[in-house]
Amino acid sequence: MKFAKTTEYAIRVVLYMASKPNELLSVNHMHQRLDIPYKYLGQLMGKLAASGLAESVKGKQGGYRINQTRMPIYLAEIIEIVEGLADYDRCILGFPECSNKNPCSLHHLWMEQIKAIRNIIYTVSVEDLLINKPLKF
C-alpha cells in the first residue's frame, strides 16, 4: 500500500515541524528542505493550519510551527486531514459491497493486511517516529 502524494508530503511536513518545535518555518524553507513543490506546500500548510495541527504566524518573520497542544499527533489524524480515511475501509478490488457475508476474492487476505495498517496509523504518533534517528525528510 502506498500513501497518496499529499499524505506523504503532509507526514513529512508534520514530522519536520515536530522535530523543530520552537522554530517558525517558512513555506520557502520547508519547500527547499523537504523538496515539496512550493505552491503545493502552501496549500497543504493552509490545510494543516486550518485543522489546528500547525500554527500560522503572519508577518515578515512569520511562518508555521507544530501546534504542541495537539500532541500526540497520530498518523491517522494527518491522513484524515489531507485525504480522509475512507480508502482504508473500501474493497481492494473496488466492489461497492464487500464484507464477510459477501466477500471478494481477496477479502480475507486483505482484511488481515488492513487490520495491520489500521493498527499502525491509529497507534503510531509523530513523537514515536521522531525517536528513531537519524530522520530522513
> Mean pLDDT for each 10-residue chunk of the chain (137 residues)?
88 96 96 96 97 94 94 96 87 89 92 91 95 74
Three-state DSSP string of the chain? CCCCHHHHHHHHHHHHHHHCCCCCECHHHHHHHHCCCHHHHHHHHHHHHHHCCEEEECCCCCEEEECHHHCCCEHHHHHHHHCCCHHHCCCCCCCCCCCCCCCCCCHHHHHHHHHHHHHHHHHCEHHHHHHCCCCCC
Residue 134's pLDDT is what?
66
Instruction: Say what the pTM is.
Output: 0.88
Supply the CATH classification number for the domain 5-131: 1.10.10.10
pLDDT at position 86 is: 84
**Structure confidence at residue 3 (pLDDT):** 85
